[in-house]
Chain A
Amino acid sequence: MSTAIALLALTEHDVMRALDAVIDPELDEPITDLGFVRSVRFTDVGVEVHLRLPTSFCAPNFAYLMASDAKDALTALPEIGTVIVELDDHHDSGIINAGLASDAGYRGTFRHEAESDLEELRAVFQRKAHTAAMERALTALLRSRSDLLEADVAGVTLGDLPDDGAKEALLRRRETLGLDIRADSLVLVDDLGVPYPAASAALALRRARSTRISIDGNAHFCRGLLATRYPGSEDDQAPRAEETFFPLTDLIRTTRRSVA
């Protein structure tokens, strides 16, 4: 099969679905849902994708991670031809685009500013994403189970969670961290899978909540800034589930009862 024929077979839809796999580590969402994909254009020899971010001063390490992940995801498509990924309008666009074009890798791209790799950075945000997913699942359970008190969450197992999106998201993030996903595993665990004693469960949940609020807040802020910077880009953004954005009324009733 010649390249030209194969290219005819690939559509923008295919490209976007491949890019669904690229996650903004800080916001724990696909770049396609965030509106970060500015354009997809097929060329004579392959595909050219442009990315955009909410500000010129978004952290360049995350910017590079997303751009290089995008290039990897597209290069993995069969018969894609030449893949060009460029980041637009960023203070480090020149450095990052040159590095991507020459496949220089992280250290080759950033030279003296890079020490080893970005894997620890990625891991930090995978841990935060797990913490937030754990809080969402437990908070949803507390809302729906009036018999359950905040202090009881230490004993909740994965099997106790309803089979919904929150649980599915939690399982995926546990798998990413290499944590147990069997039904009898406890939900409230630290990054290493170690459970909390009942006495500190409420505080651990509370701490997880501040992580979740921070991530959700950033996601809303970044969406808004992107729409301000690139008018019309809001149409490319999938709404972030407002469900996780409170209200916690039911939970609170439960908490207050436990205090009383």
Chain B
Amino acid sequence: MYQKDGESFFIVDAHVALWDARPENQRNIHGKQFIDCFYDYHANLSPESEKWSYEEYLYQGGERFMRDVFADDIVDHAIFQPAALGEFYVNGFGQTEEAWALTQANPDKLTYNHNFDPRNGEAGLDQLRADAERFNLKGVKLYTAEWHGDSRGWKLDDPWAYRYFELCRELGITNIHVHKGPTIRPLDRDAFDVADVDHAATDFTDLNFVVEHVGLPRLEDFCWIATQEPNVHGGLAVAMPFIHTRPRYFAQIIGELIYWIGEDRIQFSSDYALWTPKWLVEAFVDFQIPEDMTEYAPITMDQKRKILGLNAAKMYDIPVPAELQLPDAPETETGPRQPERADLAAV
């Protein structure tokens, strides 16, 4: 629970990881390139006081993870969203066993989501059944840019992906977190295209699709899809730290999101260990849309409460103290879109 000036906030960090990118775990040059890319994100967008050395960035371990994520008891609950990256790392990037052990030791504080790759075919379906039972899965983290043999990416509307979503439905895995990395296949098209989210969300209306990075670098496409599909949500991973380096840009992202998809479908996340949640929560509670940017309404404390925790808590049935619960807002003026207004979809 975070408290500031008499206001209380229930905090859910909806995207954290326990990774191992140390050289001994790197399978090849791409393992190094991947963590270097993450480190540049971290170094570029962090305040000086929050910047880590490259060495400490490679691996944190469970003890430090708990210290960082739950620093000052600000974060109430965090959700693991592990990336497998088996082609880049010997023992994978996300550390399944260590994260699961932490989750078992701290069931009130942690939820473990796992991942699947539809290119694993039938064997992968069996594995998903076993994983769902072992981890009591409510959600999965899917990284569509994952490499797999000769394939360097997949789409949510691939026929095999649908087989997996059908199984998710059967197993009660309702929360599908989608990380749209640069999907390389086929190269002819936009690697960050989020249109496949649209198709999958339309065909699986009983599953929630949480698009991480709120679709960035395709914010506009994400907003448009989310206005039309009420089961599409936005995760603020990677968008959050702009609050420090580019607060005006951050204001525009939040302003656009609230305008297009509303305050009930946006989830806070630090993307730990890319960044730590403490400074992001503190900055967000203090944040306000700049006064001269009057085309966006000022953000309210209740909107911040929803984004910082209530929205994710609701999706994951995480208990929230009664006095901190809030009702849903009415539908935004932009959606869901009616068929007669579909002509605008070509804008």
Interface residues of A (CB under 8 A from B): 26, 54-62, 64, 91, 106, 110, 112-118, 120-121, 124-125, 131, 190-192, 200, 203-204, 206-211, 213-214, 216-218, 220-221, 224-225, 227-229, 245-249, 251-253, 255-256
Jot down 5 A-B pairs with beta carbons below 8 A, ordered by A.
Answer: A26-B217, A56-B36, A191-B346, A210-B223, A225-B44
- Asked if residues A113 and B217 are in contact (CB atoms below 8 Å), the reply is no
Task: State the Cβ distance, B232 to closest chain A Cβ, in Å.
Answer: 15
Contacts of A113 in B (CB 8 A): 152, 184-187
- Asked if residues A213 and B220 are in contact (CB atoms below 8 Å), the reply is yes
- Asked if residues A58 and B346 are in contact (CB atoms below 8 Å), the reply is no
Contact of B188 among A112, A115, A200, A249 (CB under 8 A): A115
Q: Which residue of B lies closest to A117 (CB)?
A: B188
- Asked if residues B190 and A246 are in contact (CB atoms below 8 Å), the reply is no
Task: State the Cβ distance, A164 to closest chain B Cβ, in Å.
Answer: 22
Contacts of A125 in B (CB 8 A): 190
Interface: B105 (CB within 8 A) = no
- Asked if residues A213 and B252 are in contact (CB atoms below 8 Å), the reply is yes
Contact of A55 among B40, B150, B216 (CB under 8 A): B40
- Asked if residues B182 and A255 are in contact (CB atoms below 8 Å), the reply is no
- Asked if residues B346 and A190 are in contact (CB atoms below 8 Å), the reply is yes
Q: Which residue of B lies closest to A89 (CB)?
A: B33
User: Which stretch in B55-63, B112-120, B289-297 binds the other chain?
Assistant: B289-297
- Asked if residues A255 and B344 are in contact (CB atoms below 8 Å), the reply is no
Contacts of A220 in B (CB 8 A): 246, 249
Task: State the Cβ distance, B238 to closest chain A Cβ, in Å.
Answer: 9
Which 4 A-B pairs give the minimum distances between C-beta atoms? A56-B33, A210-B220, A59-B191, A228-B44
- Asked if residues B220 and A218 are in contact (CB atoms below 8 Å), the reply is no
Task: State the Cβ distance, A173 to closest chain B Cβ, in Å.
Answer: 15
Complex-state Cα separation, A79 to B151, whole angstroms:
42
- Asked if residues A121 and B44 are in contact (CB atoms below 8 Å), the reply is no
Complex-state Cα separation, A60 to B44, whole angstroms:
22
Scoring A62, A106, A210, A247 by chain B CB atoms within 10 A of each residue's CB, the highest score goes to: A210
Contacts of A253 in B (CB 8 A): 294
Complex-state Cα separation, A200 to B253, whole angstroms:
23
